[in-house]
Structure 1
Amino acid sequence: MTQRTSRTWLKVFWTGLALWAATVAVTVITANTNLLPTIVLLGSFLVPVTFAIWAYEHGTSGEITVPLLFTAFVVGGVLGVLGASLLETYLLHPSLWMYVGVGLIEEAVKLIALIFVARHLRHRSLRDGLVLGATVGFGFAAFESSGYALNALFTVDGLSIRSMVETEILRGLLTPLGHGLWTAILGGTLFAASRGHHRLRITGPVVLAYLGVSLLHALWDSMHGLAIAATLYLTGARWQFQLLEHGYLPRATDTQGHLITLLNAAGIIVISFIALTWLRSLYSRSERDQAPPPIPQGHFRTEPPWSPERR
């Protein structure tokens, strides 16, 4: 294992943040629409790239090189986004279980992208899987966020830089707790199951990890809807249920709006805590795997090899 003590990730983050803020300011001042793609790219890629570098700097073996990291971010991210778009378009339809399908599809395409990127690795450690999986997930998040930012730019009132910036800030804050985290868990489990084998292996623990992160993903995406349902169940008025029976979504009161926000935030916190605890357990396991084996007690020397008695 190579432990890197440099903090390149901090330099990347602060430099990128300054460039993004400067671009937003100049765009607002000059109304130059040619700068809009720069805002989209900087705002969408800043946090994912920063955390991919952070994961790399926190220790991998020599097998994970910078070119491989770049390939995992770009190729893995693009393949994941394209695969998810195709499958979700043709397989999913609006329903109560739609987000379960989204979780299963997106985590599956990221896993396939990770396998494609890592197919030529000769040696695989659990920690390498954590880093490479996180990189694929962050790549997916970056390209997905750029699409959301672009969609937020176009409103019924015309171009809205404010809406685009707000979208980028929100997604940037949540990025470390989403795709990168879930795929890191999946990558670590996959590499641990494949250690000592010539090919990556889909074993029982890998399948369970896939189903687990897919469930976390589904709960994350559906949390706002679950918060609304819980709020109506706890505080719903009769007229609101009557509107629901007739197929209309009732407007929430101010009190209910605050409760929805609170429940939504609480749900995101719980999901993130579960995922981070899971990741921490894998990281602790990787530290044990990296530690040198203990020297058997019978192999301790009782005298230095240069002592006169051994000459």
Structure 2
Amino acid sequence: MKCSQCDYSNPEAVKFCLKCGEKFFKTGKQEDDNSYFYEFAHYVDMVPRFERSVEPKFQNVFSRVFRKHSELEAERLFIVGTALTTPQLSEVKDTWPKPWLFARVFVIALIAFAGFYIGVSIFNNANFIPGLIIVGAFAVPIATLIFFWEMNAPQNIAIYRVMYIVLIGGILSMIASLVFYDILRNHINPFTIGIAEELAKAIIVMIFVTDKKYKYILNGLLVGAAVGAGFAAFETAGYALRALLTEHGAAFYITILWRGLFSPGGHIAWAALTGAAICKVKGDQPFTYNMLFKFKFLRIFILVVIMHALWDTPIPGMFPFGHVFLMAASWIVVFLMIRAGLKQVGERKLRI
């Protein structure tokens, strides 16, 4: 599919050139704005079926990260999830997507962080400190969240909605955890911390996924990851500021560095798993609180609480190797959930 305008070689079956936007197939009739934008849903994933992987092999899933991508590809990815650009179920691919945009987002955030670091450490300009904290706290969580967004095969959640959940869900879950801390103030230990924070995030995730729109396991993963990303970023920003005010400068940078590196396997992965479990139990049915007592949900929630408790347990030699192990274990379960979500999409397509 070579474009006649810019000579760019496009994947098969696309209707627009991914580089210049030239439309390949014209119907010869006047098209309204709705039909024009709806066509994005047919190819917005940009990945031909033969390039996708059914099995969760890392060399396949991440094979497009280091390929060259046009700016137009990124722009079209960001328009999915609206009423005009959400594909029908029959058009959704149930094979493993190949995300790549998350890596670009991370590189951009890393460049911005380097700029703020230069302003603080070399020029000693205090005006750069807030930016350093914000970018340092949000860089990895947002990049990880974009990964979950790209893996959301139904493509039914817009990026605007995702950012809304990050900000509102993040702060509400933090406030809810403070309420539980106040209730458990005489019994604070790693296990009760895990219960308080994971239950707080679970409640906020429930509030969002009660919407009938979120009926897929992959939707729950994304919504949960959004709440977890907000929680992780806000918490990291708070700890970084505390380190800056109470300790020497090295502790400030170490706090941002380690919490950023471990955030994908902590709050983000745990909340994503909780969200996936809720949507797996809920399905197409209206949400009821009785669903939270089903084994399918409880086994995931208990696993998440145990992981969180182990993460906070002051075991000698636990850091960093124990946290790396817990992070890997969390992501193994995440990929199993992604596989279950893609299987769910495939089963629903067969019912049509």
Alignment TM class, shorter chain as reference: 0.7 to 0.9
Answering whether residue 303 of structure 2 is matched by residue 212 of structure 1, we say yes
Deviations 1:196-233 (A, max 9, x none): 202253233212321220111001111xx222xxxxxx
Q: Determine helix, strand or coil for the equivalent of 1:291.
A: helix
User: How many residues matched?
Assistant: 255
Q: Which residue of 1 aligns with 2:3?
A: none
Q: Which residue of 2 aligns with 1:14?
A: 107
Higher mean alpha-carbon deviation, 191-200 vs 41-50, is at 191-200
Q: Which residue of the other structure, out of 231, 243, 248, is the alignment partner of 1:152?
A: 243
Q: TM-score, normalised by structure 2?
A: 0.67
Q: Which residue of the other structure, out of 159, 165, 171, is the alignment partner of 1:72?
A: 165
Q: CA deviation at 1:119?
A: 2.6
Q: CA deviation at 1:94?
A: 6.3
Q: Which residue of 1 aligns with 2:331?
A: 276
Write the letter of the residue equivalent to 1:14. Answer: V
Alignment of 1:268-307 (within 5 A): 268-291=323-346
Q: CA deviation at 1:135?
A: 1.5
Structure showing greater Rg: 1
What runs of 5+ residues in structure 2 fail to find an aligned partner? Answer: 1-91
Distance 1:114 1:4 in 2: 24
Distance 1:99 1:265 in 2: 17
Query: Closer, same or farther in 2 for the Cα pair 1:295/1:54, shift >3 Å?
Result: closer
Q: CA deviation at 1:75?
A: 0.9
Answering whether residue 348 of structure 2 is matched by residue 267 of structure 1, we say no
Write the letter of the residue equivalent to 2:267. Answer: H
Q: TM-score, normalised by structure 1?
A: 0.75
Q: Which residue of 1 aligns with 2:61?
A: none
Higher mean alpha-carbon deviation, 67-76 vs 56-65, is at 56-65
Distance 2:118 2:249 in 1: 10
Higher relative contact order (CA 8 A, sep 6+): 1
* Contact kept in structure 2, 1:133 and 1:185, CA below 8 Å: yes
Distance 1:123 1:146 in 2: 30
Name the structure where helix makes up a greater proportion of residues.
1
Answering whether residue 44 of structure 2 is matched by residue 44 of structure 1, we say no
Q: CA deviation at 1:6?
A: 6.4
What runs of 5+ residues in structure 1 fail to find an aligned partner? Answer: 228-259, 297-311
Query: Closer, same or farther in 2 for the Cα pair 1:123/1:79, shift >3 Å?
Result: closer
* Contact kept in structure 1, 2:217 and 2:277, CA below 8 Å: yes
Query: Closer, same or farther in 2 for the Cα pair 1:25/1:75, shift >3 Å?
Result: same
Distance 1:281 1:6 in 2: 17
Q: CA deviation at 1:121?
A: 3.3
* Contact kept in structure 2, 1:92 and 1:101, CA below 8 Å: no
- Runs of 4+, deviation exceeding 6 Å: 293-296
Q: Which residue of 1 aligns with 2:268?
A: 180
Alignment of 1:68-147 (within 5 A): 68-93=161-186, 98-147=189-238
Q: CA deviation at 1:14?
A: 1.0
* Contact kept in structure 2, 1:71 and 1:117, CA below 8 Å: no
Deviations 1:283-307 (A, max 9, x none): 22112112257989xxxxxxxxxxx
Alignment of 1:47-58 (within 5 A): 47-58=140-151
RMSD: 2.4
Distance 2:208 2:279 in 1: 13
Deviations 1:217-273 (A, max 9, x none): 001111xx222xxxxxxxxxxxxxxxxxxxxxxxxxxxxxxxx3xx44343233233
Write the letter of the residue equivalent to 2:259. Answer: R
Q: CA deviation at 1:169?
A: 0.7
Answering whether residue 257 of structure 2 is matched by residue 169 of structure 1, we say yes
